[in-house]
Amino acid sequence: MDLELKDIPGQLVNALVPISDAGGNIVSVVHHHAKRTPRGTIPIQVTFDFEGDLEALKFSLESRDIKIGRVNEAKLLEHRTVLIVGHIIHSDIRDTIDQIDQTGYAEVVDLAMSMPGINLKSSARIGISAEGKEEARKAMSLMRQIARKKDLLVIEPINSEDTQ
C-alpha cells in the first residue's frame, strides 16, 4: 500500500496502528522522508499480510487523514537473501534498494549491515521478496547487475535457484 503522510510527528504510527488493529502483519515500511509528493506529503510504502476487510481498513486510514495512493494486493511470496561485500555506503545503498523496489514486482524487505571502518569494505545481508519465482529470478539478476556496476561482491546460497 502506498500512503502519503503529513510531515508532522506521529504520522507514521498513525498510519501503522489501523493496519495492526485490523489484524495486518506489517512486513516492511519504506519511508521516503527526503521526497515529497506534489501535495507536499511524504510517500511511504507499507507491505503487510492481511486477510481482513480491505475497504474497512482503507476507510480507517482515510478517516485519520491519510491519503492512499495505491493498493496492490499482489503477495510477495518468494524470498531471497544475499550478502553483498564492498564499499556499500560509498556506492549508495539507497540507490541499490530503490532500483529493486522500483521494479514493481520485488522489494527489499530486510537489510542488516556491518561497517568495520570508514575506508574498509562493509558487508550487508539483504532480504528481497518478489511476487513469484520468475520475479525473484529477475530481481536477483538485477541485484547482480547493480553489484557489477558498483564493484560489489554478491554471495548467494549454494542451493539457491537463482545462482549463475
Q: Domains, the chain, ranges and CATH?
A: 2-70 (3.30.70.260), 78-155 (3.30.70.260)
Query: What confidence category does residue 85 fall into, taking pLDDT thresholds of 50, 70 and 90?
Result: very high
Query: What H or E segment, with its residue span, contains residue 127?
Result: strand 122-130
Asked if pLDDT for residue 80 goes beyond 80, the answer is yes
Q: What is the mean pLDDT of residues 111-117?
A: 91
Indicate the pTM of the whole model.
Answer: 0.55
What confidence tier does 75 reach under pLDDT thresholds 50, 70, 90? Answer: low
Structure confidence by residue, pLDDT tens digits, 25-61:
888 888 877 788 777 888 898 988 888 888 899 999 9
* Contact between 80 and 56 (Cβ < 8 Å): no
Strand partners, 45: 2, 30
Q: So what's the pLDDT on residue 19?
A: 93
The span from the first CA to the last CA of the chain, in angstroms, equals 33
Whether the predicted pLDDT of 160 surpasses 60: no
